[in-house]
């Protein structure tokens, strides 16, 4: 899974997405959804691996797709990404637990266990999202 393609692939996989807050109405940060903000938390990572881990899956996918494009041509990553998009839309309502079975099978996550599967079990989560607000947010009414 951790295939390291040719060195030329590297430049495609260095996005430094900021740790910015959700922006709500009128361009002010959304305290309701992402809590109180602190400028230090937005500018500096609080752990050496924060950025690396946040973007890990993204970078892996970019590297794999670009290697695939160079080996098999443009059609291969295009078809795969089309299938990912279709599988990603198979979900239940936002506040319910979706299994993401199709997406996991496509990505090959059904044959591996990692920290996301062991830690932070959503069934043990102490917080419950407010269903009405979550659905309104998803439909863009909020």
Partner 1 sequence: LATHSLFLTMFLVFRNAVLETEVTKVGCRMPAARKTGTTIVGVVFKDGLVLGADTRATEGMIVADKNCSKIHYISPNIYCCGAGTAADTEMTTQIISSNLELHSLSTGRLPRVATANRMLKQMLFRYQGHIGAALVLGGMDCNGPHLYSIYPHGSTDKLPYVTMGSGSLAAMAVFEDRYKQDMEEEDAKRLVRDAIAAGIFNDLGSGSNIDLCVITKGRVDYLRPHDMANKKGVRTGSYKYKRGTTGVLTKTVTKLDLEVVEETIQTMDTS
Nearer to partner 1, 72 or 99 (CB): 99
Nearer to partner 1, 62 or 107 (CB): 107
Question: In Å, how far are 21, 69, 72, 93, 106 from 75, measured between CA atoms?
Answer: 36, 8, 8, 32, 17
C-alpha–C-alpha distance, residues 105 and 87, integer Å = 10
Give the binding site for partner 1 (CB under 8 A).
1-2, 45-50, 52-54, 56-57, 100, 104, 107, 109-120, 122
CB-count exposure of residue 17 (10 Å: 0-12, 13-18, 19+): exposed
| Shortest separation between residue 20's beta carbon and partner 1, angstroms | 14
| Shortest separation between residue 58's beta carbon and partner 1, angstroms | 11
Nearer to partner 1, 8 or 120 (CB): 120
Q: Which two tokens stand for residue 63?
A: 């590297």
| Shortest separation between residue 57's beta carbon and partner 1, angstroms | 8
């Amino acid at each position: 899974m951790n295939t390291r393609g040719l060195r030329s692939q590297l430049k495609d996989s260095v996005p430094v997405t900021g740790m910015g807050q959700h922006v709500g109405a009128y361009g002010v940060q959304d305290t309701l959804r992402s809590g109180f903000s602190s400028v230090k938390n937005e500018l500096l990572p609080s752990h050496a691996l924060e950025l690396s881990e946040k973007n890990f899956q993204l970078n892996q996918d970019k590297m794999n797709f670009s290697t695939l494009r160079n080996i098999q041509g443009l059609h291969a990553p295009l078809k795969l990404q089309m299938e990912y998009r279709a599988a990603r839309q198979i979900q239940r309502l936002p506040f319910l637990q979706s299994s993401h079975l199709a997406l996991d099978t496509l990505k090959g996550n059904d044959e591996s266990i990692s920290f996301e599967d062991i830690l932070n079990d959503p069934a043990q989560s102490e917080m419950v999202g407010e269903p009405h607000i979550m659905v309104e947010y998803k439909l863009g009414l909020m």
